[in-house]
């Protein structure tokens, strides 16, 4: 009897220890990270300190970059909407049809059959929020953010809105949860305040859902407007460059406020944070700085499609490193979904590849080549150090060395004449010639043929420009 009693006590003790070692709730920070994406509109590659900028102060952005990996060859689309579509779908413009800017009230947008990153993250338990510029269609409710996976929305649908009145062409463009909202304030500051509110209002504890917060600022896109207080440090600059500097400082301050809110909530170290511009800077050398890269916004030269970018995730992504290998904005969909524990299975195939081995294990880029595209007729390919461009007359004009014609068309209504193919290819070795000064197509016909074959393969199933769907 005594033996049975002692055996019973031993079994109960083992059960108690087992229960104590198997808590019902996960430890704080043991689940998937918060995912924060900062996107700055029309930012020049070298206008941030971490890429060598010296005349504009970006201390919060630079501090963020120092905590993780700086991406020296992070490719985006040449203009706004296509980059946003590629980020949120993991698919090239040749597959979404979003080759160009979605104009206000245009009767098309990101195709409805596309699975968005917000929807995919919501499926695995994330709280999904957008604060800033949508720019992927709004003419019907089903194209708006709250119908595309975002549980909370704040900001505007169009580009180029007035920063204070929130209007464009007499149309008011400011919303909360896709319902029109009238409020005063400089849009960059309002976006920051909304993000801080979202972060601070979230309950603390291990059962709290991870947060996906997408922050596509309209700064530093035109119109060039900023409160006077942001101009004071830039008396050494003149004209629009000074205003642009103040606008970038406002964005940097906003990012600092958001990062501080995460820190105050003890969430900063539990967050994966991506920072990127949506395209190269417009009017380079005058308004913006794209460093040594040729041309700017609206072109397929490096100044138009290399973005200032960095990514941080404490304890996962090593800090203080620079990555030279090429990656693309399409890669963040599979990367972030992998981090979140979601499924990549979907009807529409992904073009992006997970960057986690590249970022955390120092593996090579997952791509043998990358498609760089404005339209099926205006495309380029990068494979290793080689870059082949199929240009048009208008694209070549945009890339004039003076830089004065780079970017959005200066003509009324931003209209261009239909581009005409030149019939010529341009080949550059980006290792020896990152400035794209020496077209070596004639010297390397074998490389041209090989890359042309690969580019044709990319373009063989290209869809036409976006239509209502």
Mean per-residue pLDDT for 420-430? 75
Tokens 């990358």 belong to residue: 370
pLDDT band at 392 (very low <50, low <70, confident <90, very high): low
The phi-psi region of residue 48 (left if phi > 0; otherwise alpha if psi is between -120 and 50; otherwise beta) is: beta
Mean per-residue pLDDT for 122-136? 98
66-69, Cβ contacts within 8 angstroms, sequence gap of 24 or more: 66/319, 66/320, 67/312, 67/314, 67/319, 68/273, 68/310, 68/311, 68/312, 68/313, 68/317, 68/318, 68/319, 68/321, 69/310, 69/311, 69/312, 69/317, 69/318, 69/319, 69/321, 69/322, 69/323, 69/359
Residue 86 structure tokens: 């590629």
223 upstream amide cis, omega within 30 of 0: yes
Q: What is the pLDDT of residue 468?
A: 55
Give per-residue pLDDT as tens, 163-218: 999 999 999 999 999 999 999 999 999 999 999 999 999 988 877 999 999 999 99
Query: Which of 467, 469, 461, 468 lies closest to 95, judged by CA?
Result: 461
Residue 389 structure tokens: 């461009």
CA Rg, the chain, in Å?
Answer: 24
Q: What is the DSSP letter of 220?
A: T
Q: What is the pLDDT of residue 420?
A: 37
Q: In the predicted model, is pLDDT for residue 263 greater than 90?
A: yes
Phi, psi of 74, deg, nearest 5: -100, 110
Kindly list the catalytic residues: 80, 135
Q: In the predicted model, is pLDDT for residue 80 greater than 80?
A: yes
**Is the distance from CB of 272 to CB of 313 less than 8 angstroms?**
yes
Rounded to the nearest 10 degrees, how much is the dihedral formed by the CA atoms of 201, 204, 207, 211? 50
Average pLDDT, the chain: 89
Task: Work out the number of other CB atoms within 10 angstroms of the CB of residue 53.
Answer: 21
Q: In the predicted model, is pLDDT for residue 451 greater than 60?
A: yes
Q: What is the pLDDT of residue 393?
A: 52
**Could you tell me the sign of the dihedral formed by the alpha carbons of 434, 438, 441, 443, in that order?**
negative
pTM to 2 decimals?
A: 0.89
Q: In the predicted model, is pLDDT for residue 407 greater than 60?
A: no
Give per-residue pLDDT as tens, 16-37: 333 333 333 334 456 899 999 9
3-state secondary structure of 436: coil
Residue 366 structure tokens: 């997952």
Rounded to the nearest 10 degrees, how much is the dihedral formed by the CA atoms of 392, 136, 403, 377? -10
Task: Compare 415 and 283 and report the one with higher pLDDT.
Answer: 283
Q: In the predicted model, is pLDDT for residue 66 greater than 90?
A: yes
Give per-residue pLDDT as tens, 308-344: 999 999 999 999 999 999 999 999 999 999 999 999 9
pLDDT band at 397 (very low <50, low <70, confident <90, very high): low
Q: Rounded to an integer, what distance in angstroms lies between the CA atom of residue 374 and that of residue 178?
A: 30
pLDDT band at 396 (very low <50, low <70, confident <90, very high): low
Q: Rounded to an integer, what distance in angstroms lies between the CA atom of residue 337 and that of residue 151?
A: 17
CA–chain centroid gap for 276, Å, is 5
3-state secondary structure of 244: helix
Q: What is the pLDDT of residue 1?
A: 42
Which structural domains are found in the chain, ordered by start?
A: 34-368 (3.40.720.10), 371-459 (3.30.1120.10)
3-state secondary structure of 34: strand
Secondary structure E strands in 230-369: 271-277, 306-307, 309-312, 321-323, 327-328
Q: Rounded to an integer, what distance in angstroms lies between the CA atom of residue 118 and that of residue 268?
A: 21
**Is the distance from CB of 250 to CB of 265 less than 8 angstroms?**
no
Q: What is the pLDDT of residue 205?
A: 80
Give per-residue pLDDT as tens, 136-177: 999 999 999 999 999 999 999 999 999 999 999 999 999 999
Q: What is the enclosing helix (H) or strand (E) of 59? A: helix 59-66
Secondary structure E strands in 6-98: 34-40, 69-71, 74-75
Residue 303 structure tokens: 């100044």
Q: Is 257 exposed, middle or buried (0-12, 13-18, 19+ CB in 10 A)?
A: middle
Q: What is the pLDDT of residue 207?
A: 77
Q: In the predicted model, is pLDDT for residue 268 greater than 60?
A: yes
CA–chain centroid gap for 42, Å, is 12
Task: Compare 339 and 418 and report the one with higher pLDDT.
Answer: 339
Q: Rounded to an integer, what distance in angstroms lies between the CA atom of residue 253 and that of residue 245?
A: 12
Angle at 367 between CA 50 and CA 118, to 5 degrees: 70
Q: In the predicted model, is pLDDT for residue 277 greater than 90?
A: yes
Mean per-residue pLDDT for 342-354? 97
Task: Work out the number of other CB atoms within 10 angstroms of the CB of residue 106.
Answer: 17
Task: Compare 30 and 13 and report the one with higher pLDDT.
Answer: 30
Q: In the predicted model, is pLDDT for residue 97 greater than 50?
A: yes
């Amino acid at each position: 009897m005594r033996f049975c009693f002692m055996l019973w006590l031993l079994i109960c003790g083992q059960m108690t220890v087992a229960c104590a070692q198997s808590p019902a709730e996960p430890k704080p920070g043991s689940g998937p990270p918060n995912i924060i994406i900062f996107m700055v509109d029309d930012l020049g590659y070298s206008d941030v300190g971490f890429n060598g900028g010296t005349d504009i102060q970006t201390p919060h952005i630079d501090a963020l970059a120092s905590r993780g990996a700086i991406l020296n060859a992070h490719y985006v689309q040449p203009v706004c909407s296509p980059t946003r579509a590629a980020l949120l779908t993991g698919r090239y413009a040749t597959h979404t049809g979003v080759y160009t800017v979605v104009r206000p009230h245009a009767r098309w947008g990101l195709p409805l059959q596309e699975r968005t990153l917000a929807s995919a993250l919501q499926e695995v338990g994330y709280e999904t929020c957008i604060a800033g510029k949508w720019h992927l269609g709004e003419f019907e409710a089903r194209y708006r953010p709250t119908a595309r996976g975002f549980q909370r929305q704040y900001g505007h649908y169009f580009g180029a809105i007035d920063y204070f009145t929130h209007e464009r062409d007499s149309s008011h463009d400011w919303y909360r949860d896709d319902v029109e909202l009238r409020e005063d304030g400089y849009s960059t500051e309002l976006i920051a305040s909304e993000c801080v509110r979202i972060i601070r209002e979230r309950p603390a504890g291990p059962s709290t859902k991870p947060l996906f917060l997408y922050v596509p600022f309209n700064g530093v896109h035109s119109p060039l407007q900023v409160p006077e207080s942001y101009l004071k440090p830039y008396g050494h600059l003149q004209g629009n460059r000074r205003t642009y500097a103040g606008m970038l400082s406002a964005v940097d301050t906003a990012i600092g406020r958001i990062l501080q809110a995460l820190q105050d909530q003890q969430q900063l170290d539990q967050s994966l944070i991506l920072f990127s511009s949506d395209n190269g800077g417009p009017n380079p050398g005058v308004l913006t700085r794209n460093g040594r890269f040729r041309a700017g916004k609206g072109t397929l030269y490096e100044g138009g499609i290399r973005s200032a970018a960095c990514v941080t995730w404490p304890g996962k992504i090593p800090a203080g490193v620079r990555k030279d290998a090429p990656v693309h904005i399409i890669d963040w969909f599979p990367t972030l979904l992998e981090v979140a524990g979601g499924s990549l299975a979907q009807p529409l195939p992904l073009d992006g590849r997970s960057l986690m081995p590249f970022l955390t294990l120092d593996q090579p880029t997952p791509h043998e080549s990358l498609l760089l595209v404005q339209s099926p007729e205006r495309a380029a390919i990068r494979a290793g150090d080689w870059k082949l461009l199929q240009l048009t007359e208008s694209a070549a004009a945009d890339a004039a060395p003076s830089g004065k014609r780079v970017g959005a068309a200066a003509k009324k209504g931003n209209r261009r004449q239909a581009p005409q193919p030149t019939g010529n290819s341009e080949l550059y070795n980006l290792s020896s010639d990152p400035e794209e000064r020496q077209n070596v197509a004639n010297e390397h016909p074998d490389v041209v043929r090989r890359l042309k074959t690969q580019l044709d393969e990319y373009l063989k199933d290209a869809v036409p420009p976006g239509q209502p769907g």
